Amino acid sequence: METKRSYTLVKGRFFKEINPENVLRIHRAFPHYNFEIKIEDSIYEVNINVYNRVKGHPELRVLATSDPDSDLINIKPLEKALALPDGVYNNPDKELVLDYLRGNYFDLNRFQVPFKPAGEQEEDYLLQLLKQHVELAQKNDYSFCIWGKSYTDNQGSIIRNGIHDIHMNQGSEMAYQNSIWQDGALVITDAKEIKFACFLGFITQCLITDDKGDCSKD
């Protein structure tokens, strides 16, 4: 797979879930929720982590809300995206980029591993949460605004474009994964308002970073 790894915002409508047998190998190695959106005449794959592959630290931090007015603080970038036409926005304007730690979107104390009923795996909890809202979006023809890293796969007979790393992209032990103002998110909207917003991060990522996105030593 050739990976562009450029920071990207995509906006489109639900097309279909991806058959597990057709998921790219890189997204089969550890659990993702995989579906496609339609952007004008193009199909774009969406791959959202629902579990962490790091042994002993499988959990993801989650902040998900259907009531952004109550649960979020700064929603300006989300509202800017709501006003955009469908499209692929590579390296978007500074008014549209996200940084969980600098953007003041929500109280970081609430960015936690979610409570789960006894016996339920987080993978299942997060997958069902996402499925519930994606299915609602499909039913109501809502739009998807998705921030992450774009990729192009040209190994097979069909070129496949998509977006992954739809989570916090800083504070990792591996410095090559870190940047500021390049965090991912999933937001679902109608023509006037945000219906659902989901912010994700791995529990292994630190929540204080320097100007390169690496864990701060101060």
Please indicate, yes or no, if residue 164 is contained in any of the structural domains. yes
pLDDT of residue 3: 54
Under 8 Å between Cβ of 203 and 113: yes
Does residue 136 carry a pLDDT above 70?
yes
- Residue 51: both structure tokens together: 């579990």
pLDDT of residue 175: 83
* Count: domains in the chain: 1
Percent of the chain with pLDDT over 70: 87
Range of the domain at 86: 7-202
pLDDT tens digits along 17-54: 987 777 776 666 678 899 999 999 999 999 999 887 65
Count Cβ atoms within 10 A of the Cβ of residue 177 and give its class: 0-12 exposed, 13-18 middle, 19 or more buried. middle
Q: What mean pLDDT do residues 80-98 have?
A: 97
Please indicate, yes or no, if residue 2 is contained in any of the structural domains. no
Count Cβ atoms within 10 A of the Cβ of residue 159 and give its class: 0-12 exposed, 13-18 middle, 19 or more buried. exposed
Please indicate, yes or no, if residue 217 is contained in any of the structural domains. no
Please indicate, yes or no, if residue 214 is contained in any of the structural domains. no
Please indicate, yes or no, if residue 56 is contained in any of the structural domains. yes
- Residue 188: both structure tokens together: 């679902």
Please indicate, yes or no, if residue 19 is contained in any of the structural domains. yes
Name the residue with tokens 């994964």: 177
